[in-house]
Structure 1
C-alpha cells in the first residue's frame, strides 16, 4: 500500500474545498431543488403599515389557470409561534388574523403550477383595508419603549459623579440608519411533506432552529422534520431567524399536498428577512488632562417591531472596551409599525463602536493627544466587568503593528493639515473589540476501509469557509492528507449544531470536531487494546501520535500501523465516534473568554470643492486567536471591511415617513460598495491561540466590519475639520 503523505494544513491558505463546485455550478442551493410535481408560491404583501383587513377578494386569483390554492387569514390553518432561541423570540406567525402591523406584511400566499401563474394570481388579489394611524417615528411619544436592564444594561462605579468632576468632558449624539443585509442570493424555501414527515430546503444560517420552529408550527416531532442547507447564497445575519415565508412554504405544501417552492423577490427581502435597526446614541466621556478615562456613559435607543422584543445592544459593548472605573451603559428599543429587525453583521457592535470610537477621537482632539496614544493609555488589561484576566488579548500588538504598517507616524495633528494636490488627506483609526460567544455543538467522525474520513455536523457554511477549515482541522487531528477527509454539513439529520453567526461557530464546531476526532482515535486504540499482533496494544491516546494515515507510538514512528490495516484485520468496515463541546464558564476557568480584538487605520481623500470622499487605504490588524486558514480569514476581514465602507458612506434603508414603505428596495437604489469604491486593503494577524477552546480560535466573521465606519468618520474630521456624527457620510455633509 502506498504511504500517505500528511502535511499539516491548519494555518495554511488552503483553497476552499467547495470552491470548484460553486464556480462550476455544481453546488446545489435551495433554489436549485426540484421535485417532479413541484408547485410555486407567490406572496401578497400589505400596502399599509397599520390597520386591519376589512376584506380580501381572491376570486380573480383563483380563476388563473394553474392556481392550486390562495391562502389568507380567513382560510389558512393556524400555526403556532416558533420557540425562543439564543437570539430571542421568533417573529409573529403569518396569516394568524386580520391585523396589519407593518408595510409589506404577508396577507396571502398563492400556490400554482408555475411561478408565472402564481405571480400573476398574486397581483389579482384585492385587499380592502381599514387603516389605522401607524407609529413610524421613534420620537413619537405614543411609542412603547422596551428595556431589559437585567440582561443588557451595565454599571460600575459612579459614572455621573465622575463625569461631573472630569477635567475634560465630551458629550455628543450619534445616529446610525436602518440598513438591509442584502445577500446576493434571494432567500428560497422548498418544502415537501410525506405524511407527517417534512423536508425543507432553506436559505438559513441555522438549520436546527428552522427544524424546531416548523415542528412547533405544525405540531409534529422535531425528528420528523429534516432541514437541508448545504449551500446558502450569503446571509450576513439575515438567515438567523426563522422568517414567516419559511412557515408559509411549509403551510402551502401541506394544504396542496404538493412540494412548494417559495423564492423572495429583492423588494420582499427588504421587508421579510430582517434589517439592522437604526440607533440614536448619546455618549459622554470624561478624562483627566493626562488622558486617563474617569467616566463613560453610553445610552442607545434602537427601533424594533410593534410586536417584537428585540433590543439591539449597541451600548453594552462599551462596558469592556477600555479601562475605566466608572461606566454606565443602557440599551432600549422603541416599538414601531415596521418589520421585525434581525442580526446584521456585527449586530450592536457595529453601531456602538461607531459612537464610542468617534467620541474617543473627539476626546483626543480636545486633549490634543494622539488618538492612538489615548487608546493605548486606556487599554483594558483585564475584563472590566468581572476583573478576570483575558484568556488572551493582543490588542496592543494590533495597535502597534497596524500603526507601523499603515504609517500612522506621518499623521500631522491638525485637521486639514495634510494635502495631496486638490485632495485633503485624512488619517483616522478605531479600536475594535467583539465579545466572545459560543454555543453547544456536536460532530461525528468516521473512518472507512479506504482510509477516508468523513466528519459531519448540521452547520451551514454561508461563504465563510467553515467546510474548508474543518476539513483542515480534522485532517491534522487524524494525521491524514486533505484529500482523504470530507466535511459534510447542512442537514439536521446530522449532529446538532448552532447558528453560523456571532463569530462563535468556529470555536464551537472546532471543539466538537476536535472531540470527535480524538474519540475516533480512541476507538481504534480500543479495537487493538488486546490485539497481540498490534504494536499499539495496550496504548492510550497519551501514548500515540497520528501521521500519514497511521497511528504510532510517540517518538517511535516505526511502531505503528495504518487505520486501514486495523480495520481490515478486525473485519470492521467503518468506525464512528461522536464529540461535543460546551462553552466554558469564566468562573470555572478563572479567566474571561476573549473575543477578537483589532485596530483599524484608514486614509481618506476629500475634494473640498465637490464634496467627493474616497477611502484610499485601509490597514486592519486583528487578534483572532489561532488562524486556521490564512486565506479564508483574510477574506472575511476584507469582505467585512467592504461592508464597513458601505455602512460609513452609502447604506441607508429609506422609508417613506407617511406609509413605512421602503423607497429603495432594489439593488439599483440601495447603494452598496462596488469594486471602484474598494481601496487598497492590508490585513495582518497578531497574537496566538486562545486557550479557551482546543482549536485556539476566536472568530473573524463579525469583527471584519466593526470599526470601519468610526475610522472613516475620524479620518474625515482629520481631513476637513468637520465632525460627522450621523451615518452614512454624504456629499452634503462635506460641502
Structure 2
C-alpha cells in the first residue's frame, strides 16, 4: 500500500482525477459532441427590443443550399412552459407568438446540412417589425415595479427613529451594471430523437431539472428523456435554466427527424443565456460614537425581463450580516425589455455586498475607526433576525487571520498617505457572507468482484472539482484505494441531483455519496452475517474498519477479508446501494444554518497621474466549513477572486437606448487577464458545520463576494476618491 492510499483521502489536496483528460483535449464538452446524421441549426434574432413581427420572409433562406427547414412562430406548435424549479419558473417557450420582448430574441431557426449553410441562410431571413418604444433603463418611470416575490424583505425595530437619533449617519447610492457570465466554452446543444425517446447533450448545470423540463414541454415521460453533460466548460450560473434555444434545438430535431446541433455564437451568448442584472442601491447606516450600528436601511432596485420571474434579493443579506436592532431591507424589480437575467456567480450577494461594505468603509472613515475594528464591534454572534446561534461561524477568525497574513497593521489610515514611487498605495477590506443553501440529492455506489468501485449521480462538474472530491469521498468511505474508484456524473439516468450552483452541491452530494457507500459496506456485512467461513461473521458496521479494500475487525485488526473475497465466495459480481441526503430542517436544529463567511483584504496601486488601477495582492480568509480538497477549494477561491476583480474594474454589459448590447464580444467586453491579477493568498479557518453531515458550506460563490467592495475601499484609501459605481474606471479617478 502506498502512503497516498493509506492516508486520509478527504481533505487532501490531490490533483484533479479528470485533469489528464482535460489537458489532453479528450474530455468531451457539449460542443465536441457529434452524432451520425446530425444537421445544424442557426438562430435568427430580433433587431428591435419591443414590438411585433409584421412579416417573416423565409423564401430565400428555404431555397439556399443545404437548408432543410426554417422554423418561425407561424409553424411552431403550441408548447407549454417548463416546470417550476427550486430556482423559480422556467423561461417561456420560444416562438409562440409575434411579440418581441427584447433585442436579440429568437425569431426563427434555420436547419441545414452544415453549420456554414445554416448560418448563411439565417442571414437571408427577412423580418419586418412594428417596433414600440422599449423600456431599457432602471430609471424609466414607465416600468412596472414588482415587489419582493419571495418574502425576503426585512423590517425589525424602528429604523426611522434610530436614524433620527444616530450620532453618525452615512447615506449614499451605489450602482452596479449588468455583467455577462461569459464562460470560455460556447453553449452547445445536440438533440437526438429515436422513436419516442429523446437524448439531449447540453451545457447544463442541472441535468435532472433539464430532463424534467424536456418531459413537460414535449409531453414525454421522464423515463423517455436522457440529458448528458459529463463536462461543462464553465457556466457561472448560465446553465441553471433550460433556455429557449435549447427547446428550439429539440423541436427542430423532431421536425426534421434528424439530430440537430446548435452552438451559440459569442454575441448570442450575451442575449440567450442570462446575465447578472444591474442594481441601484440606496443605503443608509446609523451608528453611535463608539461605532455600534444603530440602524441599517438598504433599498435596492434591479431589472427583470417582461415575462420572467428571475429574482435576486440584492439587499437581503444586509439584514443578517451585522448585529443591529433596527434594520429595513427592500428589494424591488422593474420590468424592462431586456433578455432574461439569471444567476451569475454569487448572485445578489455580489451586488449587495458592494454597497454594504462600501458604506461600512465610509462609516469607518467618518468615525476615524479602523475598518476591521468597526466590523468586530458589530459582529453578530447569533443570527440577527431570529437570535439563534449559528451552526458554525468563524468570521471573527477570518478577520484576524486575514489581517495578520495581509499585514493590515502597516496601513496608514490617512488617504493618499502611502506611496511607492509614482504609485499611490491603498489597502481595503470587506467582510463577506454567503447564505446557506441545500437541496435533496441521490447517489448510487457499486463494489465489484475485482475490488473496484463505481459511484455515480446526475450532478455536473462545471470545473469546480466535483469529479475529484466525490472520488475522494467514495474512496474514503469504502476504504478502497483512490485509483480503484470511478466516480461518474452528468447523466440524468443516474440518481437525481440538484444543480451545481448556490454553493450547495458539495454538501448534498457528499452526504448522498457517503450514504450510498456506507450502505454497500453494510450489504457486505449482511452477506457474511451467517457465513461460517468469514472472520467478519456477525459483525456490526461499527465493529469494522475498511482499509485498502479489506474489511477488518476493530477488536482483532489482523482478522478480515476483502470485498473481492466476499463477493467471489458468494457468487456475486457486484453489490449496489442507493444513498440519499435530505437538507436539515432549520426549525429542528435549534440553530441558524450558516453559509460560508470570509474576509477579503486587497492592496491596489493607482498611478497618480494616469489613474490606472492595479490589484497588487489579495488575501482571502475563508470559513467554508469542512474542506474536502484544499487544492480544488483554493482554486475556487482564486477563480472567484479573479471574477471579483472583473466586477470591480472591468466588466460592464453596455446596452444602448434601443436595447442593443453594444459590446457583445470578448474584444469589447473586458475581463481580467493574467496581467490584471496580482498575488493571491488563501487561508481556510473554522470547523465543520453542524447543518450538514458532510460539514461543508460550499466555496464556489464566497470567493467573488467582497472583492469589489475591498477594491473600491482600497482605491479610496489610495486616492481619497470614493467611487460608488462599478466598474471603477480611469475617468472616475482622473
Aligned to 2:697: 698
Aligned to 1:128: 128
Cα distance, 1:6 vs structure 2: 3.3
CA distance in 1, matches of 2:502, 2:149: 22
CA distance in 1, matches of 2:579, 2:309: 35
Determine if the alignment matches structure 1 residue 679 to structure 2 residue 656: no
RMSD: 1.3
Aligned residue for 1:587, secondary structure, equals helix
Aligned to 2:542: 542
CA distance in 1, matches of 2:647, 2:717: 19
Determine if the alignment matches structure 1 residue 719 to structure 2 residue 718: yes
CA distance in 2, matches of 1:150, 1:665: 32
Structure 1 residue ranges, 4+ long, deviating more than 6 angstroms after superposition = 1-4
Aligned to 2:372: 372
CA distance in 2, matches of 1:136, 1:326: 35
Cα distance, 1:150 vs structure 2: 5.5
Aligned to 2:356: 356
Determine if the alignment matches structure 1 residue 225 to structure 2 residue 225: yes
Q: Give 1:593-608 correspondences, 5 Å limit.
A: 593-608=593-608
Aligned residue for 2:519, secondary structure, equals helix
Determine if the alignment matches structure 1 residue 35 to structure 2 residue 35: yes
CA distance in 2, matches of 1:3, 1:647: 43
Aligned residue for 1:558, secondary structure, equals coil
Aligned residue for 2:640, secondary structure, equals helix
Determine if contact 1:415/1:719 at 8 Å carries over to the other structure: yes
Structure 1 unaligned regions, length at least 5: none
C-alpha offsets along residues 467-488 of structure 1, whole Å, 9 cap, x if unaligned?
A: 1000001111111111011100
Aligned to 1:62: 62
Determine if contact 1:146/1:311 at 8 Å carries over to the other structure: no
Aligned to 2:49: 49
Aligned to 2:72: 72
Determine if contact 2:5/2:482 at 8 Å carries over to the other structure: no
Aligned to 2:432: 432
Aligned residue for 2:391, secondary structure, equals coil
Determine if the alignment matches structure 1 residue 732 to structure 2 residue 694: no
Determine if contact 1:4/1:549 at 8 Å carries over to the other structure: no
C-alpha offsets along residues 35-63 of structure 1, whole Å, 9 cap, x if unaligned?
A: 22000000000000000000000000000
CA distance in 1, matches of 2:329, 2:554: 53
Determine if the alignment matches structure 1 residue 454 to structure 2 residue 458: no
CA distance in 2, matches of 1:65, 1:359: 60
Q: Give 1:15-34 correspondences, 5 Å limit.
A: 15-34=15-34
CA distance in 1, matches of 2:96, 2:2: 64
Q: Give 1:570-589 correspondences, 5 Å limit.
A: 570-589=570-589
Cα distance, 1:2 vs structure 2: 12
TM-score if structure 1 supplies the norm length? 0.99
CA distance in 2, matches of 1:591, 1:104: 47
Aligned residue for 2:89, secondary structure, equals coil
Aligned residue for 1:331, secondary structure, equals strand
Return closer, same or farther for 1:705/1:531 CA change in 2, 3 Å cut-off: same
Aligned to 2:641: 641
Determine if contact 1:471/1:487 at 8 Å carries over to the other structure: yes
CA distance in 1, matches of 2:555, 2:348: 50
CA distance in 2, matches of 1:672, 1:464: 20
Structure 2 unaligned regions, length at least 5: none
Aligned to 1:521: 521
Determine if contact 1:514/1:694 at 8 Å carries over to the other structure: no
Q: Give 1:414-429 correspondences, 5 Å limit.
A: 414-429=414-429
Aligned to 1:663: 662
Determine if the alignment matches structure 1 residue 156 to structure 2 residue 127: no
Cα distance, 1:310 vs structure 2: 2.0
Determine if contact 1:6/1:549 at 8 Å carries over to the other structure: no
TM-score if structure 2 supplies the norm length? 0.99
Determine if contact 2:457/2:489 at 8 Å carries over to the other structure: yes
Q: Give 1:371-390 correspondences, 5 Å limit.
A: 371-390=371-390
Determine if contact 1:207/1:492 at 8 Å carries over to the other structure: yes
Q: Give 1:72-471 correspondences, 5 Å limit.
A: 72-148=72-148, 151-471=151-471
Aligned residue for 1:404, secondary structure, equals helix
CA distance in 1, matches of 2:263, 2:583: 36
Cα distance, 1:609 vs structure 2: 1.0
Cα distance, 1:681 vs structure 2: 0.9
Cα distance, 1:65 vs structure 2: 1.6
CA distance in 2, matches of 1:368, 1:555: 64
Aligned residue for 2:558, secondary structure, equals strand
Determine if contact 2:181/2:238 at 8 Å carries over to the other structure: yes
Determine if contact 2:543/2:555 at 8 Å carries over to the other structure: no
Determine if contact 1:135/1:337 at 8 Å carries over to the other structure: yes
CA distance in 2, matches of 1:693, 1:152: 23
Determine if contact 2:276/2:344 at 8 Å carries over to the other structure: yes
C-alpha offsets along residues 576-626 of structure 1, whole Å, 9 cap, x if unaligned?
A: 011101110122121111111000000011112111111111101001111
Cα distance, 1:556 vs structure 2: 2.5
CA distance in 2, matches of 1:319, 1:48: 40
CA distance in 2, matches of 1:409, 1:234: 38
Aligned residue for 1:455, secondary structure, equals strand
Cα distance, 1:695 vs structure 2: 1.8
CA distance in 2, matches of 1:208, 1:586: 25
